[in-house]
Copies of this chain bind each other. A is one copy, B any other.
Amino acid sequence: MNMKNKNTDPSVLKSKDIRAALIRSGMESMTKHGYISSNLESVLKKEGIPKGSFYYYFKSKEDFGREVISCYASFFAYKLDKYLLNESVPSPVERLKLFYEDARQGMAKYHFERGCLIGELMQEESLLPDGYNAVLNEILTLWQDKVARCLEQAQQIKEIKQGIDCWELAYFFWIGWEGAVMRAKLVKDPQPLDIFIKLFFAGIDQ
Question: In which size bucket is the chain A interface?
Answer: 35 or more
Asked if A190 lies at the interface with its beta carbon under 8 angstroms from chain B, I say: no
Known A-B contacts A168-B195, A199-B203; the reply to A182 vs B32 at CB < 8 A is: no
Known A-B contacts A32-B126, A33-B126; the reply to A178 vs B168 at CB < 8 A is: no
| Minimum distance in angstroms from A34 CB to a CB of chain B | 7
**A187 & B123 in contact (Cβ 8 Å cutoff):** no
The one of B123, B172, B175, B178 in contact with A120, judged by C-beta atoms closer than 8 angstroms, is: B123
Q: CB-CB < 8 A to A127: which residues of B?
A: 33, 37
Q: Within residues 9 to 39 of chain A, which ones have a CB less than 8 A from any CB in chain B?
A: 32-34, 36-37
How many copies are assembled? Answer: 2
The one of B137, B168, B186 in contact with A122, judged by C-beta atoms closer than 8 angstroms, is: B186
Known A-B contacts A33-B127, A113-B126, A186-B122; the reply to A175 vs B196 at CB < 8 A is: yes
Task: Give the CA-CA distance A115 to B125 in the complex, in Å.
Answer: 11
**B199 & A169 in contact (Cβ 8 Å cutoff):** yes
**B186 & A171 in contact (Cβ 8 Å cutoff):** no
CB-CB nearest in chain B for A120: B123
Q: CB-CB < 8 A to A32: which residues of B?
A: 126
Asked if A136 lies at the interface with its beta carbon under 8 angstroms from chain B, I say: yes
* Residue from A113, A126, A127 with most neighbouring chain B CB atoms (10 Å): A126
Q: List 16 A-B contacts (CB under 8 A).
A: A33-B126, A33-B127, A37-B37, A120-B123, A122-B185, A123-B123, A123-B124, A136-B186, A140-B183, A168-B199, A175-B180, A179-B180, A179-B182, A199-B203, A203-B203, A203-B204
